[in-house]
Structure 1
Amino acid sequence: MKKLLAALALSVAFALPAHAEFKLDSRYTDADGDLVADTPTDPAQQIDPDTLIFAYTPVEDPAVYADVWKGFLEHLSQKTGKKVQFFPVQSNAAQIEAMRAGRLHVAGFNTGGNPLAVACAGFKPFAIMASKDDAYGYEMEIITYPGSGIEKIEDLKGKKLAFTSETSNSGYKAPSALLKSEYNLEAGKDFEPVFSGKHDNSILGVANKDYPAAAIANSVLQRMTARDVVKPEQIVTLYKSQTFPTTGYGVVYNLKPELQDKIREAFFDFDWTDSALLKEFQSSEPPQEKFLPITFKDNWAVIRAIDDANGVTYDCK
């Protein structure tokens, strides 16, 4: 899978114009060139909160995921000696703003939101969920429902297409680049874009025939199908993309180095056996059964290329 993603990153780089240099906000430094913010060397600029705040990317019902993450957060608390609180964020923008403002310390940011979180909030991703044999990733799918009258991508012309949010890779960025480059279909010109806010909203919207079509992450669809939230016969796939990295997990840049080390250890020595995390994420394809080390510089190269193709800039306000 790692070799596959590397090949995909190269193919995207060759297919698109050379992308602009990735830059962090002026409040951060990157002396080692790894594209993420350096931890301040001055202890006075480092933080050591009594309570660690954790947030998972807002792709589905936050109440469901508070229970899913409970066992891991207890493990994180034992490992760090800190209280740990689950923060149920409602949007990608709110999650990024919380970390930028110092109210969020440990997080899982969605694929498309990772570059913005790194550039603007000092996010330092270091892990991704993977199978026992190190396979990871998901695909973007464009879906419809049976009898919608949409049988191929070209049939989207003149119709509504549901996206999730503008920071989402599979919910906006990748399908926008794909539809424009491969099918000459532009949002607002050839079809009407609508925004649902979350992948589950888009999936349910199609299943209930509220949206004629939607661009979604199939990992979310697989988990919702496994929980019987939607049935396979309610969904028809029009397009399936190459494989992308999924949610990246990490910390805010200015935590004390020793605390960052303990948090990393908590991710990589967590026992998934019979855990709520395993029950929830093993239904993905490939199954997600452990945390695997990654780097933003290498594993998110293909996502930065897609951003560049869409003209995305990381302007931090």
Structure 2
Amino acid sequence: MRRARALLALLVATVLAAVAGCGAGADPADPPRLVLGVIPYENSQSVTDDWKPFVAMLEKASGKPVELKVLTDYAALIEGQRAGVIQLAVYGSLSYVLAHDTGAGVEPLGVEIMRKGAKPEYRSYLVTKAGSPIRSLGDLRGKRVCFVDPNSTSGYLYPVAALLAEGIGSGDYTARYAGGHDATVLGVRDGDCDAGAVQDRLFDEALPSEGRIAQKDFQKIWTSGPIVNGPLAVSTKLNPGLRKTLADAVISEGNADALGVPDVAGVWGFAPVSDSLYDSVREACAATKVKVCGG
């Protein structure tokens, strides 16, 4: 355990040093550049291109250069905001709650929506191979279950809450962390996991359209209720005027229609949001008492 914590600390320190770069010593309220931190839902090679129009919009609105930083670990994203070297971050719902409630100094600018005027929500699945004898949550006792990351909302928290509601605790199955929603599904396909947690949009749309999976090869054994979408959050270390400028730009210009693109990294854009929208995630944390929530 100590070795794992030491490795995580080293990873976070390395990422922060890389992100800080030439911004070391800058005024955190008005830095010369802004850093936007993102974590892809899948191992996509086009992340930089996906975000390029949005980054350009932020640069025009703020009058500052904006650097896109692609991370693979929510802990590094949270600590980057805590340290003030990542000013903007795209979170999942759980990782946002963890950042906000542990004093990382963040506030939401907008919540992701898939279509203009759509509700800011999605669902989580647990899937197995087609033809698997695993047909229900109860069948997962003694099995290998792939999750995304302990800080993932649909890839960990809500599936774990569903298992606990069925009386299935962490000692009743073997948990594995694949690192991405696509990796959990591919792990199931390749036989590395008996079941995997995945976000609905990736399983239903992105992976099939990319030709990476065929849905006929899988079966869903569980679907969650609605989960609130993640937010784009800003560091409260930035001065209030700059935060308002960014918030106004994100809501009015940070969408597919305004940018003239098919989508903004897989979503239509962002809707107005307040921190209280994430109270349902806090309730799930309290109910599960999983370690990442302080349980």
TM bracket, shorter-chain basis: 0.7 to 0.9
Q: Is residue 47–residue 255 contact of structure 1 (8 Å, CA) maintained in 2?
A: yes
- Does residue 1:308 correspond to 2:286, yes or no? yes
Q: Give the counterpart of 2:207 among 220, 224, 233.
A: 224
Corresponding residue of 2:275: 296
Listed as ranges, the gaps of 5+ residues in structure 1 are: 1-43, 282-287
Corresponding residue of 2:73: 91
Amino acid at match of 1:301: D
Distance 1:314 1:47 in 2: 30
Rate the CA distance shift 1:216–1:79 in 2: closer, same or farther, 3 A.
Answer: same
Corresponding residue of 1:160: 144
Distance 1:269 1:310 in 2: 37
Q: Is residue 63–residue 88 contact of structure 1 (8 Å, CA) maintained in 2?
A: no
Q: Is residue 110–residue 232 contact of structure 2 (8 Å, CA) maintained in 1?
A: yes
Shift of 1:224: 2.1
Q: Deviations over 1:218-266 (max 9, x none)?
A: 1232322232222222221111010011121120011011111111122
Corresponding residue of 1:207: 189
Corresponding residue of 1:242: 225
- Does residue 1:256 correspond to 2:236, yes or no? no
Q: Deviations over 1:255-314 (max 9, x none)?
A: 011111111122112251375561752xxxxxx4231001111x1111000000122578
Rate the CA distance shift 1:88–1:45 in 2: closer, same or farther, 3 A.
Answer: closer
Distance 2:127 2:50 in 1: 27
- Does residue 1:278 correspond to 2:257, yes or no? no
Q: Is residue 119–residue 314 contact of structure 1 (8 Å, CA) maintained in 2?
A: no
Q: Is residue 69–residue 276 contact of structure 1 (8 Å, CA) maintained in 2?
A: no
Shift of 1:53: 0.2
Alignment of 1:170-185 (within 5 A): 170-181=154-165, 183-185=166-168
Amino acid at match of 2:133: G
Listed as ranges, the gaps of 5+ residues in structure 2 are: 1-25
Distance 2:45 2:30 in 1: 28
Amino acid at match of 2:60: Q
Of residues 271-280 and 237-246 in structure 1, the stretch that sits farther from structure 2 once superposed is: 271-280
TM-score, length-scaled by structure 1:
0.77
Corresponding residue of 2:4: none
Shift of 1:101: 1.3
- Does residue 1:114 correspond to 2:92, yes or no? no
SS at match of 2:284: helix
Q: Is residue 40–residue 47 contact of structure 2 (8 Å, CA) maintained in 1?
A: no
TM-score, length-scaled by structure 2:
0.83
Q: Is residue 45–residue 254 contact of structure 1 (8 Å, CA) maintained in 2?
A: no
Rate the CA distance shift 1:205–1:277 in 2: closer, same or farther, 3 A.
Answer: farther
Rate the CA distance shift 1:53–1:252 in 2: closer, same or farther, 3 A.
Answer: same
Rate the CA distance shift 1:276–1:168 in 2: closer, same or farther, 3 A.
Answer: same
Distance 1:206 1:166 in 2: 18
Q: Give the counterpart of 2:116 among 101, 109, 132.
A: 132
Q: Give the counterpart of 2:170 among 170, 187, 193.
A: 187
Amino acid at match of 2:177: F
Distance 2:30 2:232 in 1: 19
Q: Which has the higher helix share?
A: 2
SS at match of 1:216: strand
Kindly report the root-mean-square deviation, in angstroms, between the aligned alpha carbons of the 2 structures: 2.2
Corresponding residue of 2:31: 49
Q: Is residue 120–residue 229 contact of structure 2 (8 Å, CA) maintained in 1?
A: yes
Q: Is residue 285–residue 293 contact of structure 2 (8 Å, CA) maintained in 1?
A: no
Shift of 1:81: 0.6
Corresponding residue of 2:8: none
Distance 2:280 2:227 in 1: 8
Amino acid at match of 2:270: F
Distance 1:292 1:214 in 2: 30
Distance 1:230 1:79 in 2: 39
Distance 2:293 2:283 in 1: 17
Corresponding residue of 1:266: 249
